[in-house]
Amino acid sequence: MKRINLKIILIIGIIFSILFVIFGFVRLASIQSYLGGYVFIFYGIIGAFIFGINVKKGYQDKKKIILFFVVCYFLIGISGFSLYVYTHTPHTDGIVPPAIYIRVIDNNENPVMNAECVADIETENFTTDNKPLENINIMKELECYGREKCDDKGYLGYYRLNITNQSYEPWNILFLHFWKPTNVIEGDFEIKIVCRTPTSVSYTIINQTNFPCSPIPLEGNYIAPSFVCSDSNDMKEERAYVLLNDEKFDEFDKKAVSFIIDNYQGKTILANIKLSVALDNCNYDEAYSCGVNPVGLIQDTKGYGDPYVFNEFMIADCERKLELINEFNIDLILSRFELDKCEFMTEIYNNQDFIYEVLK
């Protein structure tokens, strides 16, 4: 092999390495996956460093070893990239969606709260007629991450259709952590939804070739098995992830988390998913690793948590708040914005983040 050919291959390796680094930074910037982003950045930097040294030194006497390394690097990198994209992409073609949300609004773009929605579901495994949709406040199943309390109105008018009992479970490959679906029902499907309001009737048809839906994301590598759907009829789409103010975990959050860990060992803390993860991030494999008990975790490999409690607490009245406090034995509430206080809550910390102690 000529010298120039080896050098070209090494330059291509450098380019691929740079692309891995860029992809890693894109993942970090989009707050899609911190671990995956760092892995790609590290992998790309190592590759660029090794390829760059070989381009400069021109080790022609070791070209077989270099070529072997280049091939292995490409194969591992492309395989890792493909696996990462596959596990982070919702696959809907030929797979029955476990749950979908549709939004019903009137001609003035206002959410309709009193619609009656039913669905006919036909799959290769089962058929269901006239299954009612549940009118919900979708905020209970999403997150409000920003420094300002989310506008309740943007979360109203949603109706949920539960179709299958699909869920996700951890999938660990060496030091990488992914999620894989369980109880998946595959094959052709058709879902007909009809919603009746006092003034109108609207409908939509969804199948494996007409699936105008957006996935509802949760935290980290987890892809929630739910979709917000739209159609060209009167049912309008409201992409759920636009409603999320998914700002980064900042220095004020770190100070609030440290304040709780340093002063309230053994206490049960209610917070959103991001803050709850930070409250249990001292050891990945150890339950309650920081000495406090966060409620708002996803049930991941540690096997506990309920990410929806904080959402419901945020929009609940005082009576319901107290019920949640008693149900989960909550001692403290940590929030990135000021909450409406009840007589059994007292503010003990205020520095961008707010901490409330429950009076018992």
Distance from C-alpha of 338 to C-alpha of 252, rounded to nearest angstrom: 14
* Cα gap 344→356, rounded to integer Å: 10
Within the chain, what is the greatest distance between any pair of CA atoms?
A: 82
State mean pLDDT over 288-300.
Answer: 77
Report residue 324 CA to chain centroid gap: 24
Please tell me the predicted confidence (pLDDT) of residue 38: 78
Asked whether residue 232 carries a pLDDT value surpassing 60, the answer given is no
pLDDT > 90 fraction of the chain, expressed in percent and rounded: 20
pLDDT value at 265 more than 80: yes
CB 280 within 8 A of CB 294: yes
Cα separation, 202 vs 107, whole angstroms: 12
Instruction: Kindly state the helix (H) or strand (E) to which residue 128 belongs, with its residue range.
Output: strand 127-132
pLDDT of residue 62: 65
31, 72, 145, 246, 311 from 148: Cα distances, Å: 19, 49, 8, 11, 14
150's tokens: 């989310």
Question: Tell me, what DSSP letter sits at residue 241?
Answer: G
Beta bridge partners of 100: 161, 227
Identify the residue with better confidence: 110 or 231. 110
Q: What is the mean pLDDT of residues 274-281?
A: 83
The pLDDT value given to residue 146? 72
Structure tokens at 139: 């905020």
Convert 285-306 into a string of H (helix), E (strand) and C (coil).
Answer: CCCCCCCCEECCCCCCCCCCCC
- Helix (H, G, I), strand (E, B), or coil: what is residue 205? strand
pLDDT at residue 212 tops 90: no
CA distance 309 to 18: 42
The pTM score is 0.55
pLDDT (tens digit per residue) in 96-109: 888 888 888 877 77
**Looking at residues 133-160, what average pLDDT do you find?**
73
Cβ contacts of residue 26 below 8 Å, gap of 6+?
37
Residues in the chain: 360
185 vs 293, more confident: 293
Tokens 């760059």 locate to: 52
Q: What is the pLDDT of residue 237?
A: 36
